Amino acid sequence: MPPGGALMLMTAPSFAEDTLIDTEGGPIKVETVAGGLDHPWGLAFLPDGRMLVTERPGRLRIVTPDGSTSEPLTGVPQVFAKGQGGLFDVALDPAFASNRLVYLAYAEPGDGGAGTAVARGKLGDAGLDDVQVIFRQQPEIDGPYHFGGRLAFAPDGKLFVTLGERFQFEPAQDLANHLGKIVRINPDGSVPEDNPFVGQKDAKPEIWSYGHRNPQGVAIHPETGKLWESEFGPMGGDELNIPAAGANYGWPVVSWGKHYDGRAIPAPPTHPEFADAIDHWNPVISPSGIAFYTSDAIPAWKGNLLIAGLSSEAIIRLTLDGEAVTGEERIPMGTRIRDVVQGPDGAVYALTDEDDGKILRLSLESPHG
């Protein structure tokens, strides 16, 4: 059931700013679908083509394909909206058509500081109803950095959640906490029996992989069903990983980058006991959301991985051969890109990380104009 008319605040889309970008796959048209969003962070398409969009200060809105933007939906939990904290990703339950469940990742305030949490609620006429928190990162930490906050449902219906190490470094190696981890839970928040550390003493049973720094991108490979993940390195050393069950990705013991004060960090090959990235970047690209492109609408991009780049102000397009990266193209966007999502129309939708944030639509320019 669509939100009632009282919810909708009609705002005109701004198509006057359309631009063309020359790319290796042909000219790409960039349209502004909607603006006026405060640091939009995550986007999920509803079955009817409308978009659920999060804003980092703690608002969730519905945006129609023509750019009309709703008032903030009700039911969003209170968020810790400081620094990198706030409302993060949004995902639909695999059975959304029948259960209407929407999942939100966010920084949750608490007595001990803040931590990344996941809540779910049923999308109703004006917002989310029957909202329940299904996961909380432990422990809570003071400080505004490294929350992670991406969500991805696997083909088996399990939910992956990325959790930053909250700028605490060493706890990423400790299985007794959720810092610097990727966790895997059932849609109700319970622990899957086949998680790698179930039954292990002094290990959180939700953990899927560990030794991560600040993972802000996840996507499920459309053919293999495997989880792929991007994360921020320190000074240099941004990574692309394929997180395996129980694997340790080495942070902060190893990195392809350096500490911010210039101190060296041992390179991953010096510790072969750790799983290594399949790609890394020096200097950094600041990778946030990622998406596999599967449509024929932009033929040259089919089968590629797209990465939202913040400091790089680009969409990074990677060509792949199985689990190996074979090439890279940086598509300059001129602004920080927080997320990339393939739309039902085959276009690529990108969120700009700005006070006046936008939803951009990228499509192949027709040779006939």
CATH number at residue 209: 2.120.10.30
Query: pLDDT band at 3, cuts 50/70/90?
Result: very low
Decide: helix, strand or coil at residue 269.
helix
Residue at token pair 């989310």: 128
Enumerate residues 6+ apart whose C-beta is below 8 A from 33.
13, 63, 65, 67, 349, 358, 359, 360, 361
Report yes or no on 128 lying in a domain: yes
| 19, β-bridge pairs | 30
Enumerate residues 6+ apart whose C-beta is below 8 A from 98.
none
pLDDT of residue 18: 86
pLDDT at residue 339 greater than cutoff 60: yes
Handedness of CA 176, 182, 184, 185 (dihedral sign): positive
Report yes or no on 369 lying in a domain: no
Give strand ranges (E) for 221-257: 227-232, 238-241
Q: What are phi and psi of 17, to 5 degrees?
A: -95, 15
User: What share of the chain has pLDDT > 70, as a percent?
Assistant: 95
Distance, in Å, from the CA atom of 166 to the CA atom of 142, rounded to the nearest integer, reads 8
Any long-range contacts for 16-21 (C-beta under 8 Å, 24+ apart)?
A: 20/365, 21/331, 21/332
pLDDT at residue 16 greater than cutoff 80: no
**Catalytic: which of 39, 146, 178, 212?**
146
> What type of residue sits at position 221?
H
In the chain, which ranges are continuous DSSP H helix? 96-99
Q: How many CA atoms lie within 13 A of 145 on its CB side?
A: 9
Give the mean pLDDT of 227-241: 98
- Average per-residue pLDDT for the chain: 95
pLDDT at residue 45 greater than cutoff 60: yes
Please, what is the Cα angle at 180 between 43 and 142, to 5 degrees? 90
Residue 48: give the domain boundaries. Answer: 5-364
pLDDT at residue 1 greater than cutoff 50: no
Report yes or no on 223 lying in a domain: yes
Report yes or no on 145 lying in a domain: yes
Query: pLDDT band at 13, cuts 50/70/90?
Result: very low
pLDDT at residue 12 greater than cutoff 60: no
The number of distinct structural domains making up the chain is: 1
Report yes or no on 257 lying in a domain: yes
User: What share of the chain has pLDDT > 90, as a percent?
Assistant: 93
List the end-to-end C-alpha distance of the chain, in Å, as a whole number.
37
pLDDT (tens digit, 9 = 90+) per residue, 161-216? 999 999 999 999 999 999 999 999 999 999 999 999 999 999 999 999 999 999 99
Give the mean pLDDT of 320-339: 98
Beta carbons of 173 and 211 less than 8 angstroms apart: yes
Give the mean pLDDT of 69-94: 98
pLDDT at residue 4 greater than cutoff 60: no
pLDDT of residue 366: 78
Is 146 tagged catalytic? yes
Full strand arrangement of the beta sheet holding 324-332 = 287-292, 305-309, 314-321, 324-332
Structure tokens that stand for 368 in this block: 């006939």
Q: What is the DSSP letter of 300?
A: G
Give the mean pLDDT of 338-367: 96
